[in-house]
Amino acid sequence: MARTFTRIGKQIAIAVKAGGPDPENNPHLRAIIVTAKRENMPKDNIERAIKNAMGKDQKDYKEMNYEGYGPYGIAIFVETATDNTTRTVANVRSIFNKFGGSLGTSGSLDFLFNHKSVFTIAPKEGTSVEDLILELIDYGVDEDYDEEDGEITIYGEFQSFNAIQKYLEDNGYEIKSSEFTRIPTDQKDVTPEQRETIDKMVERLEEDEDVQSVYTNMKPEEGE
């Protein structure tokens, strides 16, 4: 839980630096706050993170991506938020090397992952999901969506995040969470033993304080 709050705190700091501390005038910050509440981050923590982001002593976080291949040719994409890129790249490279992988150049694996906006919303009475998707086609929203536990998850283009968020808010949809994700364009089969090794590598990466998210093109186990 503490690591989740730290990750969200960095996202808040970056959003405040980019668009200001007022959620009403900063859609990205507003979206992060919604996600923070979903993760049960206390209101005081959220307000403190916003206030700290405006302070002179606030660290200047940069969003940096690192890409490479792990064991068995599995592509691994690492998103970080760091105030020390030298430290972060050294730590990430060390983990790749430890597991027999290799860190590539920036952008080398972009073609293997689709960068997407993801919104989870509550159903709206009188409007079907199909009608909503049709309305959002022009915003780059996919025809595929997930519907589970009374919530709807829709996927759109990365650059359309603000436009999709505005449409949902303007049309009275309750946004439960919103985030970005990377979806592999092709997934690779692995053996149970290979999966165990890759999972360990991903776990080691996620333990690093600068790492925000880790994505692979490893095919999920059945039932995931």
pLDDT tens digits for 121-149?
999 988 889 999 999 998 889 888 999 88
Average pLDDT over residues 103-119: 93
pLDDT tens digits for 174-212?
999 999 999 999 999 999 999 999 999 999 999 999 999
pLDDT tens digits for 63-89?
999 999 999 999 999 999 999 999 999
128 contacts 149 by C-beta, under 8 angstroms: no
Quote the crossing angle between the two packed helices 27-38 and 2-19, to the nearest 10°. Answer: 170
Q: What is the C-alpha radius of gyration for the chain, rounded to an integer number of angstroms?
A: 19
Q: Which backbone phi and psi does 122 adopt, to 5 degrees?
A: -85, 145
Q: How confident is the model at residue 60 (pLDDT cuts 50, 70, 90)?
A: confident
The residues with which 146 forms a beta bridge, in sequence order, are 153
137 contacts 168 by C-beta, under 8 angstroms: no
Q: Which helix (H) or strand (E) holds 50?
A: helix 43-53
Q: The whole model's pTM is what?
A: 0.89
Task: List Cβ neighbours of 126 (8 Å cut-off, separation of 6 or more).
Answer: none
What is the C-alpha to C-alpha distance for residues 142 and 50, in angstroms, rounded to an integer? 33
The residues with which 203 forms a beta bridge, in sequence order, are none
Give the closest residue to 206 by CA, choosing from 103, 91, 84: 91
Specify the DSSP class assigned to residue 218: B
Give the chain's domains with CATH numbers: 2-53 (1.10.10.200), 62-107+187-216 (3.30.70.980), 112-184 (3.30.70.980)
Burial 140-174 (b: 16+ CB within 10 A, else e): bbeeebeeeeeebebbbbeebbebbbebbeeeebe
